[in-house]
Amino acid sequence: MPPIGAPPPVNPASKVELRVSCTNLLDKDALSKSDPICRMKMFQGGHWYESGRTEHIMNTLNPTFARPFTVDYYFEEVQKLKFEVFDIDNATDTLDDDDFLGYMECTLGQCRDLLDDTATYHKLGKRDPTTRYKKELVSVLQDIEKEGGINYITYRRLYPTTETPPKFYGLPKIHKPDTPLRPIVSSIGSITYNSARFLADTLSPLVGKSEHHIVNSQQFAELIKHRRVEEDEELCSFDVVSLFTSVPVNKALDIILRRLQEDSTLPQRSTLSPTQIVNLLKVCLDCTYFLYDGNFYQQIHGAAMGSPVSPIVCNLYMEHLEQLAISTAPHPPLWWFRYVDDTHTKLKKAHAQEFIDHLNSLDPDIKFTSEKEQDRTLPFLDTLTTIQDDGSLRLSIYRKPTHTDQYLNFRSNHPLEHKLGVVKTLLHRADTIITDPHDRETEKQHIKQALKDCGYPKWAIDKATAPKPPQQNNRNPGTRERDKGRITLPYIKTVSEPLRRIFASHGISTSFKPTNTLRQLLVAPKDKTPREEKCGVVYHIPCQGTTRQGTCEEFYIGETERSLRTRFLEHKRPSSHSSEVSQHIHIESPGHTVSLDKIVSNKTYTQPLLLKEGKRAGKGSISVTAEELSGTSEHVHLTFFARKLDNKDFFSKSDPYLEIYRCDYASQQMVYRTEVVKNNLNPKWKPFKVNMQTLCDRDFDKKLLFKCYDWDSDGSHDFIGQFETTYRQMSQAVGSPMEFPCINPKKTKKKSYKNSGVITLQSLKVVKEYSFLDYVMSGCQINFTVGVDFTASNGDPRQTTSLHYINPYAPNEYMKALIAVGEVVQDYDSDKLFPALGFGARIPPNFQVSHEFPLNFNSQNPFCAGVQGIVEAYQNALRQVQLYGPTNIAPIIKHVARFAQAEQQKGGGAENYYVLLLLTDGVITDMAETREAIVRASHLPMSIIIVGVGDADFTDMEVLDGDDGLLKSPRGEPVKRDIVQFVPFRQFKSAPVGALSKHVLAEVPTQLTGYYSSMKIPPNPPKAAPFQVPGTSAPAALSRCVLAELPTQVSGYFNGLGMAPLPTQPPPAYPGPSQ
């Protein structure tokens, strides 16, 4: 057993490379922008320790750091990370004196369990249902067009031109404990998006017809500010639990059909019949599948939060439900005001609970939570209603505890009207909601101070609050020219202002949006759409052929309205037919070839930056991009040697080593460095392996650069030479060695120079090696079982000297060990129901000795809910059993082994692995039976952890661990693999929190992968990875540079061509089924 605090005895389950970028950082410098650097800390032993820093980037608020952090992922730990961003103000190494820009805390598994809710989401795997849904949508659109519901122009607008699937991401609910994620299924760019927007416009006039519907908090304040609450009455608010994923779609469709049939204004705004609208709506609502980290999922119930039409459907269903609730209640509420699923009511105190029960009995799919007034106050939306002594109501502004008074910073890259709008909105809210004049003035002073802290000058606040003089309109209304249109553009300072004037001169109204908003950054966890699946792509295809005249420099440039993949297929198709397309004629000429690049996306976790007091650091956010370095299954095993390398040393020979670089776009990423071979011009380096993802991003044609250096002790290593190749080229070395001349570019001008040696790839082979993460992320469950020693040697539980004594102020050693291990393992079991067993006690009702009794005394269902459930069952069992003996643990090992054996015999992949935690106070008395049970269990998918509690001599127990020699059964049969880890708890009494679990669980990942590897069982198709996809963007400076000439170009376009749009080619009427 390694000493406390020593590194784990096994390799990490995986290495993860983290890359950091930030946006909208606070500006701490007066004459320039901040000069940021990022520091990463890891939480170990109750303290934060620095584990690395990025490089220092000058003069930017949107840095993308090139230097990554590498983190070892351990199954046995909850790994906390903290990223801190500073503005460098001096040349010292310490960051304490520099300006602090914000921090973000997270864990490596922050988003892991979001999709484990199998009651809400069903995993489809790699099967893409887009084509099926597209056929259904196109069929409905065709039927509607044939029936005259829409014309061809509308059909063309609604026709799905792409096959991009909806994306899943989570928005942090920062006002709730532990910051849970609100799941969003975004349909932007998907096949139903245009139809959903069309339906939203058609159905939106139906919303708000109820007298109970409110549109904002100002309307709510106006409705109740003159009302009263009597002594026998109380205020109560209701909220629906997960409205979007709970709303019954079929019921909602029936309600909407009935509302449309009753709507006399429908023919004035739509040519569709109610039935046609509902048929199209059903297709859009049924399309609740989405893509997450390369896998497809289906939302089982409700409507997708993220579809434009879903809020309207939910609103209409809530209107129906509230009418039903009020009309059927024995004692209806005295008032009822609803905003979507948030409701404010006044009830008689005697009938309040009756109405709450009635509300939750109306629809089994919809469940309401309630909040009653506390201390005569009740928050609702952003208002706080206070009941005064005379029963009248006083309204004020309500801010959630997480509110930080951080508004759009005045120095941010946003249009001025956006910033003035912030001032107007905040002050207007105070005027329209607050009823007491003194409260209103106090609130306004608070707002002005908060805006001042956000950089707003006095003139901006005064300008926004100054009354506007009435505008004089001298134009004749009869001759007034209407705007020809409206356009929304990204805001680029010094570019947008002249662009607005140019558009205005042509009768086009413009509005601007910021280039990077906090919302855009928070939705970054969405899977990135591969470029080949996008539409509207301008692409460049160079010819890579060689003719008699030399390298061909011609290329083809195109733009597509369909997906890029479809367009490429169209490019290839005419090559086998007669075609006049210039590209095909060129390709078919001798010596010309065209290749298409592959695009690889990363995974990113994005969060807002916080200041040290917990407030938001302005609009700043930080994104951590993760790439699993040793989790993917393919590893490339390489062996290199060299001969006749240049000698760079005077008194000895060179000490050569190799560095391998992956050449990404405009950058080089080192992926491996060999060992140094001392004093040798013909070195042979040790065989090594590199993860395929790390080596070439699985792009076999990606350029790889090999550099050879002569190592020097002072760090000034001498460059010998280099060569370039690709994985595809190296793969030809499977059968025979491959030689590469080692070239020093500085020497190539010499006539006599040939090379600086020859480097030979002796062998290359690809080996599939699955990691622990591969198995657990693919759905392998870690089934946790506990066995507790109830022998008399523990002492009378009623005495303070007993190991089982229950101290009301602190857990005993049994409970500490149980909690330490259980809290780690429980995250890998989806249902978190754990069998808990006891041994060595007399149990009721007959008080016979048992060595495998359930702690809850239910042999049919020995499961406890979570770790806390095990603790409660343990404490309850202590009060009912009689501690006895002997200390036999073989029965419990055999008990768990029966389940593991059934799993093994069932087959079907890596689905269940069993971990048994045994807690005992002394040396076991059935050593022979235990050794036999362990040897048999070593053939099964299970691991055993034994923790010795108390001060007994556990020397004989360590033989079970197998660390000092191979464990054998009494028959002489050795264990197939090491599955036991033993540790005395006393070694961890003064150790940091988490040290026990770190040591006893450190070998489980190796044991799990070792079993499945020996059985040749691969992981199931992978589940969602812990990190999500990125939302990186170019700095504003680059935008200004590349867009500087845009106003001139737009002006020239309008002056030269006028306003006539160029004709576009419509899509086909019906593409037919995909082949």
Q: What is the full DSSP assignment across 875-895?
A: HHHHTT-EEB-----HHHHHH
The CATH fold assigned to 14-111+603-627 is: Immunoglobulin-like (2.60.40)
pLDDT in tens, 733-758: 777 899 999 999 999 888 889 999 99
Question: What pLDDT is recorded for position 965?
Answer: 62
* Bridge pairing between strands 781-789 and 833-839: parallel
Q: Indicate the range of 202-216, 441-455, 555-569, 820-834 predicted with least confidence.
A: 555-569
pLDDT in tens, 97-109: 567 888 888 765 4
> What CATH superfamily classification does 778-1014 receive?
von Willebrand factor, type A domain (3.40.50.410)
**Cα–Cα dist 772/646, whole Å:** 44
At position 88, the amino acid (one-letter code) is I
Burial per residue of 606-643, b for 16 or more beta-carbon CB atoms within 10 angstroms, e otherwise: bbbbbbeeeebbbbbbbbbbbbbbbbbbebbebbbebe
Q: Indicate the range of 36-40, 513-517, 742-746 predicted with least confidence.
A: 513-517
As beta bridge partners, residue 920 has 948
Planar angle of CA 657, 662, 667, nearest 5 degrees: 115
SS3 state of residue 734: helix
User: Does residue 373 have a pLDDT over 50?
Assistant: yes
849 contacts 841 by C-beta, under 8 angstroms: yes
**Cα–Cα dist 452/441, whole Å:** 17
Burial per residue of 9-47, b for 16 or more beta-carbon CB atoms within 10 angstroms, e otherwise: eeebbbbbbbbbbbbbbbbbeeeebbbbbbbbbbbbeee
pLDDT-derived band of residue 470, with 50, 70 and 90 as boundaries? low
Distant-in-sequence, close-in-space partners of 73: CB < 8 Å, separation ≥ 6: 12, 13, 14, 15, 16, 79, 108, 628, 773
User: Does residue 791 have a pLDDT over 70?
Assistant: yes
* Bridge pairing between strands 537-542 and 555-560: antiparallel
- Residue 943 sits at φ, ψ, to 5 deg, of -130, 155
Q: Do 632-769 and 14-111+603-627 have the same topology in CATH?
A: yes
**Cα–Cα dist 7/995, whole Å:** 11
Mean pLDDT score, 74-89: 77
Helices 249-262 and 310-328, packing angle to 10 deg: 80
Take residue 210 and report the two structure tokens written for it.
């109820």
Half-sphere exposure of 686 (CA within 13 A, CB side): 10
Each domain of the chain, given as residue ranges in start order, spans 14-111+603-627, 121-381, 559-599, 632-769, 778-1014
pLDDT-derived band of residue 760, with 50, 70 and 90 as boundaries? very high
Residue 348 burial by Cβ neighbours in a 10 Å radius (0-12, 13-18, 19+)? middle
pLDDT-derived band of residue 241, with 50, 70 and 90 as boundaries? confident
At position 622, the amino acid (one-letter code) is I
Question: What pLDDT is recorded for position 73?
Answer: 66
Q: Please give the full DSSP string across 586-623, using - where no structure is assigned.
A: HHTSTT--B--------EEEEEEEE-TTS-EEEEEEEE
pLDDT-derived band of residue 780, with 50, 70 and 90 as boundaries? confident
Take residue 838 and report the two structure tokens written for it.
């006891």
pLDDT in tens, 908-918: 788 899 999 99
- Residue 26 sits at φ, ψ, to 5 deg, of -65, 145
Mean pLDDT score, 1042-1068: 54
Q: Indicate the range of 627-636, 655-664, 794-803, 1062-1071 predicted with least confidence.
A: 1062-1071
Half-sphere exposure of 131 (CA within 13 A, CB side): 7
789 contacts 840 by C-beta, under 8 angstroms: yes
Which ranges in 620-765 belong to alpha helices (H)?
692-696, 727-730
User: Does residue 792 have a pLDDT over 80?
Assistant: yes
User: Does residue 32 have a pLDDT over 50?
Assistant: yes
- Residue 1056 sits at φ, ψ, to 5 deg, of -85, -35
**Cα–Cα dist 436/756, whole Å:** 86
As beta bridge partners, residue 768 has 634
User: Does residue 468 have a pLDDT over 70?
Assistant: no
Q: Indicate the range of 30-39, 224-233, 956-965, 1049-1058 predicted with least confidence.
A: 1049-1058
Take residue 414 and report the two structure tokens written for it.
């946003």
**Cα–Cα dist 717/870, whole Å:** 59
Torsion, Cα of 567, 568, 573, 579 (10° steps): 80
Q: Write down the mean pLDDT value for the chain.
A: 78
pLDDT-derived band of residue 934, with 50, 70 and 90 as boundaries? very high
Q: How far is CA 998 from CA 65, 74, 512, 783, 1065, in A?
A: 32, 8, 53, 18, 63
**Cα–Cα dist 74/13, whole Å:** 6
Question: Among 662, 737, 659, 738, which Cα is nearest to 698's?
Answer: 662
User: Does residue 544 have a pLDDT over 80?
Assistant: no
Kind and range of the H or E run holding 246? helix 243-246
Task: Kindly tell me the sign of the dihedral angle through the C-alpha atoms of 338, 341, 343, 347.
Answer: positive
C-beta contacts of 87-95 below 8 A and 24+ residues apart:
87/25, 87/26, 87/28, 87/29, 87/34, 87/35, 87/36, 88/35, 88/36, 88/37, 88/56, 89/28, 89/35, 95/37, 95/39
Distance of CA 869 to the CA centre of its chain: 30
SS3 state of residue 955: helix
Q: Indicate the range of 43-47, 294-298, 675-679, 696-700 predicted with least confidence.
A: 43-47
98 contacts 127 by C-beta, under 8 angstroms: no
Question: What pLDDT is recorded for position 566?
Answer: 59
Which ranges in 938-1029 belong to alpha helices (H)?
995-1000, 1004-1014
Question: Among 852, 781, 785, which Cα is nearest to 821's?
Answer: 785
How many helices and strands in the chain, by DSSP H and E? 28, 44
Mean pLDDT score, 396-415: 83
Q: How far is CA 125 from CA 131, 188, 229, 765, in A?
A: 15, 22, 55, 29
* Bridge pairing between strands 688-691 and 738-741: unpaired
Take residue 39 and report the two structure tokens written for it.
């520091």
Take residue 556 and report the two structure tokens written for it.
């083809």
The CATH fold assigned to 632-769 is: Immunoglobulin-like (2.60.40)
Mean pLDDT score, 35-50: 81
Question: Among 272, 256, 271, which Cα is nearest to 205's?
Answer: 256
For residue 872, what is the DSSP state?
H
563 contacts 539 by C-beta, under 8 angstroms: no
Q: Indicate the range of 73-82, 164-173, 626-635, 648-657 predicted with least confidence.
A: 626-635
pLDDT in tens, 92-149: 656 765 678 888 887 654 434 444 455 567 777 777 888 888 888 999 999 999 999 8
pLDDT-derived band of residue 289, with 50, 70 and 90 as boundaries? confident
User: Does residue 629 have a pLDDT over 50?
Assistant: no
Return the residue matching tokens 């996008």: 534
